[in-house]
Amino acid sequence: MNRNAADLPLAGFTVVDLTRVLAGPYCTMMLADLGARVIKIENPDGGDDSRHVGPFVDGESAYFASVNRNKESIALDLKAPRDRAVLAAMIAGADVLVENFRAGVMEKLGFTWEALHAANPRLVYCSISGFGQTGPYRERPAYDMVVQAMGGLMSVTGENGGNPVRVGVSIGDLGAGLYAAIGIQSALLKRSRTGLGERVDIGMLDCQVALLENAIARHAATGAVPAPLGTRHPSITPFDMFRTGDGFIVIAAGNDNLFRKLCAALGDAALAADPRFATVAARNQHHAELKDCLEALLAHAGSAAWSGRLEAAGVPHGPLQSVADIVRDPHVQARGMLLQASIGDDRPITLAGNPVKVGAAPAAFAAAPRLDQHREALLAEFGTTDD
């Protein structure tokens, strides 16, 4: 593979990846980006489901390419004894196994935690599922939007009084993938002390509940049920998206000092002394009136001009950027957050990079594999060939 992972923190670790679609593949891609060897096991009948999700470039899925870089691919039929033997040989020497089947499927296939732990006591076995390995919902299937709805996230997303709204990215899957990567690395760290692997149990619904931030605490403290507020913060004002003369800008003035700086930068220092706005509590109570006042001032110039003034004043802010703006952003480019890969008939494609920077070593990179691309080499390595 076209990658150099030797100096990365997970170099030397081998991950057997039985995941598909998004939560699991995102987790294992994070591990691969940090240097782990990831062997992706796919269904011979078409491979990972996400290979069939668009958009497509020369017949290849850009969706699949975005979450499966730095991996090797082999197609195995887990119901066929010979292919199961190949998988067992891989797991016997692996550091980590990651699967995202529904709870109970691995047991039906014979790859239970108990059996694999007995055969390879150092193995970290991570299961990612909709609802975890225990509890009354454990056998239910789930997709991202199912857990966004059940986990309360959609109940606090959207405009006040509007219909519930899905978050614009698959945060149910991505959150689970990130928590799984944390759990796996924590288990590997513990193994360095004990010599024994652990079972890591990740439920997508659990992860959504964890991501509710302070909503549960606010409900417990006040008895009120958090509801959608649009873009504003429930406890800090001004902390919102504001209309300017030519677009929108986010302003986050998290304390009285920043609010005074904001008012001065907008040309109305006296606004900070208005009794309705002089304290955090007062601003929260009169948030709608304050927004009207600020937008009346902001209407006199465009977002770029205000950004310059707020930057000089030290007020946290940011323009509303589209995805097209993001890929042209010089800071995003300088941080290595855009990877250039090839797809289809060697056509270029830009993908999101890995935000985890560890030391000076650059993140490993190799394009997502073709289905069964590494079959011959992997069969030779694990003791069998197609012949």
Place of tokens 């990740």: 202
The closest of 26, 34, 16, 70 to 50, measured between CA atoms, is 26
Place of tokens 């980590």: 96
Q: Outline where DSSP puts E strands in 259-360.
A: 317-319, 338-343, 347-352
Q: What length does the chain have?
A: 387
Is the peptide bond preceding residue 228 cis, with omega within 30 degrees of 0?
no
The closest of 153, 151, 179, 182 to 166, measured between CA atoms, is 153
If one counts every other C-beta atom within 10 angstroms of the C-beta of residue 361, the result is: 16
Give the Cα separation of 234 and 228 in Å (integer).
Answer: 9
What is the 8-class DSSP label of residue 272?
G
Question: Two tokens at 374?
Answer: 């590494």
Is the separation of the CB atoms in 373 and 64 below 8 Å?
A: no
**What CA–CA distances, in Å, run from 345 to 37, 57, 60, 348?**
26, 8, 9, 9
Place of tokens 């292919």: 83
Nearest 5°: the CA angle 130, 136, 141 is 30
Give the Cα separation of 90 and 84 in Å (integer).
Answer: 10
State the DSSP string of 333-376: HHTT-EEEEEETTTEEEEEE------SSPPPP--PPPPTTTTHH
Q: How many CA atoms lie within 13 A of 225 on its CB side?
A: 3
Our answer to whether residue 233 is catalytic in this structure is yes
Task: Tell how far CA 273 is from the center of its chain.
Answer: 42
Choosing from 52, 117, 219, 233, which is the catalytic residue?
233
Give the Cα separation of 330 and 160 in Å (integer).
Answer: 35
- Helical segments of 128-244, H only: 144-150, 171-194, 204-210, 215-222
**Residues forming the active site:** 233
